Each structure stands twice: as structure tokens, then as C-alpha cells.
Amino acid sequence: MSKTIDPDIRKAQALPSSYYTDPEKFSEIKHRFRKYWHFAAHKNQLVESSSIELKHLEKLIDEPIMMTADRKIRCISNVCTHRGMLVVDGHCSKTTLRCPYHGRTFGLDGSMRAMPEFEEVEDFPTNKDDLRNFPILDWKGLIFSGIEPSGFESSLEEMERRVGWMPIETFEYDNSRNRSYDINANWALYVDNYLEGFHIPFVHKDLNRALDYDNYQTELFDGGVLQIGIANEGESTFDIPEGSPDSGLDVAAYYYWLFPGLMLNFYPWGLSVNLVVPLSVDSTRIIYRGFVWDKKFLGKGAGGDLDKVEAEDQHIVEFTQRGVSSRSYERGRYSPTKETGVHHFHQILTS
């Protein structure tokens, strides 16, 4: 059977429009999300002995999960083992978790501690009364979780090699940078748009002044894409240590995308995490989290005015959703010089 996306970009037809418009295809793809690692939170989002509900994760993998911290960080089920109420709503800074429905209490490790009016219950408690623990992966303070996640090694190796020198673990959580936008477009259109710098001169006039368009780089790796924005003269750049693959280059931004919808954008001021959360075939939530490394670079260069860039992108993506939904559009072609990232994403999506 021939592949939906030809591996030779020069011959390939782009993604069929049904991927952006067909609710059944949407559900099928969304179902696969449980096999991937997803960003939960930076550990600095939690203070000592506390827990947060991970609402975005629930939307991504259909599982209410919270993250807790005491001496250890954990991702555990947020579903009470009594009658299924959600235990934590938002954020909770206590050393025990108490279900608001009938008062069952749990430790931050998920173990059932106490339950009123259960003295006469036989064989109680057992480990079935504890909150389920989910797999967890900690890369430099970025915590990932999932239901049955696998295959993340090559992405982490790639990031380690390139940006592993940054003190990501110490980046400070800045909740004034939190954003959440619901847009009327399929999640994959938002990802397509992210994965090419081709549109920058047309759509982002200010960003285009900060970046050197001709030297914009796109690199593919297993499960993801890295785009490197090279700065125009006078714009803020990283001070890249010797021995790093990009030492000597004027890098303004590292844009990492990891399948399906995680974007880790490193700027001289720190890290902007964008989460692409599909809500339905034609609606998507975009969530921003910001972690500051060096305040003096805030508001400058390629990572300066993210709200403006975001608004420009959303406008394009919503209009494109209307376009791909029309009878006049089936599928397009790729630019071999500018759309290798989009082509790579579509191959993963259809494999």
C-alpha cells in the first residue's frame, strides 16, 4: 500500500484535508495520544508539599491526573477511589488530600489514609483504595507523564546535546505569563503553522525584523523538529558555551516541537512552553507557561512580544481551517526548502 505522505518531499502531496475536518479521524488520532509522553509541569510550579490538577493532561489523554510534590514528585490519579469524585480542584497546598465529597483522605503518594464511616467494611483498605500512580519522567525539572508512554529517548538526547547546557531546572515559574486561548481550528493546522518559518515574512512583520530569514534552520529528528532562529544584528542572542554544536552562532531562539503537540521555545530570557490541546475536530486550546532564566532579556528579540505573534498565528490558522473545510481544497504540495518540518509531522501523523 502506498504511503499517505511520500517520504520524498519533492514528490509528496500534503496531508489530505480530511485529517483536519473528519471527526472520526480526529478521534482515532486522539486515541493514540495515550502512547506518548506529555508535558505535565515544571517542578517549580509546585512548592513543598502541594498538588495541582493537570487539566490539560485530562483533555489530552482523557484521564484526570494531578501532580503532587513532597520529597518526591508524582503524577497520580485525581479520581477518588470511593465514588469517583475529583479530589483536587485547581491547586492545593496541604500534606494530605481530602476528597470534598465524603472526606476520604490520601497521602501525597496516593495512599488511602482514612475514611469516615467505614469501620465495618470488610477487607478494607486494600491497595485498590489507593490513587493510581502514573509513569513519570523528569528531564531537567520538566515533568512528563502519560498512560502507557514510550519512545522519548531520541528527543531527549537531541535536546540534551543542543540546549542541555542551559540551567532549565532553575528557571523560575512566572504565572503572569500564563495564557489559554481557544481557537476554531484543528490542532494539526496549528502545529503545521508552527513547523515552518516560511510564513514569518508574510505574517509576522515585527518578528521578521528580529530574525535572519535566510539563515533560519530546520532539523528533523525522531518524534520531533527543531527550528533555530538566527538573530539579525543587534538582537538578543544566547551566550552559547564552547563545545556546544551552535557555539559561535547568533541564536535568537530554539523552537522544539515534540509529537503530538508540545512546543518548547527557548529564548535568552528563558522558556516558553506551548501546549496544543485538541478539544474537537475543529477547536483547539493553546496553553502557555513561562519560565524565566534571565530577566534582562524579557520583552526583547524573537521572544519579545509573544502575544502579538500568537494573535497573528491564530488569525491565519482559523482562516485556514475554513479553507481546508471547503470543497475546493483537497491537498497541496510542500516546499522542499521551507516545509521539511511540516512534511515530517505529516509522516508521523499518518504512519
Q: Which position among 313, 321, 340, 342 is part of the footprint of Fe ion (CB under 5 A)?
A: 313
* 53 lies in the site for Fe ion, by CB under 5 A: no
**Of residues 73, 63, 76, 222, the one with CA closest to residue 152:** 222
Which residue's CB is nearer to Fe ion, number 63 or number 313?
313
- Length reported for the chain: 351
Which residue's CB is nearer to Fe ion, number 192 or number 313?
313
**Of residues 342, 268, 282, 291, the one with CA closest to residue 317:** 282
101 binds, among Fe ion, ligand FES, none (CB under 5 to 8 A by kind): ligand FES
* 76 lies in the site for ligand FES, by CB under 6 A: no
Q: How many CA atoms does the CB half-sphere of 339 hold within 13 Å?
A: 21
- The span of 169-177, 221-229, 250-258, 307-315 binding Fe ion (CB under 5 A) equals 307-315
What mask, x for binding Fe ion by CB under 5 A, covers residues 257 to 296?
----------------------------------------
* 196 lies in the site for Fe ion, by CB under 5 A: no
* 104 lies in the site for ligand FES, by CB under 6 A: yes
Which residue's CB is nearer to ligand FES, number 56 or number 104?
104
* 348 lies in the site for ligand FES, by CB under 6 A: no
**Of residues 241, 247, 239, 229, the one with CA closest to residue 303:** 229
* 132 lies in the site for ligand FES, by CB under 6 A: no
* 158 lies in the site for Fe ion, by CB under 5 A: no
> H-helix or E-strand containing 208?
helix 205-210
Q: Which three-class secondary structure state does DSSP give residue 278?
A: strand
Q: How far is the CB of 123 from ligand FES (least distance, A)?
A: 18
Q: Is 21 exposed, middle or buried (0-12, 13-18, 19+ CB in 10 A)?
A: middle
Residues 84-103 that bind ligand FES (CB under 6 A): 85, 99, 101-103
- The span of 76-84, 106-114, 158-166, 299-307 binding ligand FES (CB under 6 A) equals 76-84
Q: How far is the CB of 100 from ligand FES (least distance, A)?
A: 8
38 binds, among Fe ion, ligand FES, none (CB under 5 to 8 A by kind): none
Prior bond to 23 cis, omega within 30?
A: no
Phi, psi angles (nearest 5°) of residue 251: -85, 125
Residues 121-140 that bind Fe ion (CB under 5 A): none
**Rounded distance between C-alpha atoms, residue 343 and residue 281, angstroms:** 21
313 binds, among Fe ion, ligand FES, none (CB under 5 to 8 A by kind): Fe ion
DSSP 99-145: -TTT--EEETTS-EEE-TT-TT-TT-S-GGGSPPEE-EEEETTEEEE
Which residue's CB is nearer to ligand FES, number 128 or number 161?
128
Q: Which residue has the cell 484526570?
A: 64
Radius of gyration of the chain (CA): 22
104 binds, among Fe ion, ligand FES, none (CB under 5 to 8 A by kind): ligand FES
Which residue's CB is nearer to ligand FES, number 118 or number 213?
118
Give the relative orientation of helices 187-194 and 340-350 as an angle to the nearest 10 degrees.
150
**Rounded distance between C-alpha atoms, residue 320 and residue 304, angstroms:** 26
* 113 lies in the site for ligand FES, by CB under 6 A: no
* 82 lies in the site for ligand FES, by CB under 6 A: yes
**Rounded distance between C-alpha atoms, residue 61 and residue 323, angstroms:** 29
Binding site for Fe ion (CB under 5 A): 313
Binding site for ligand FES (CB under 6 A): 80, 82-83, 85, 99, 101-104
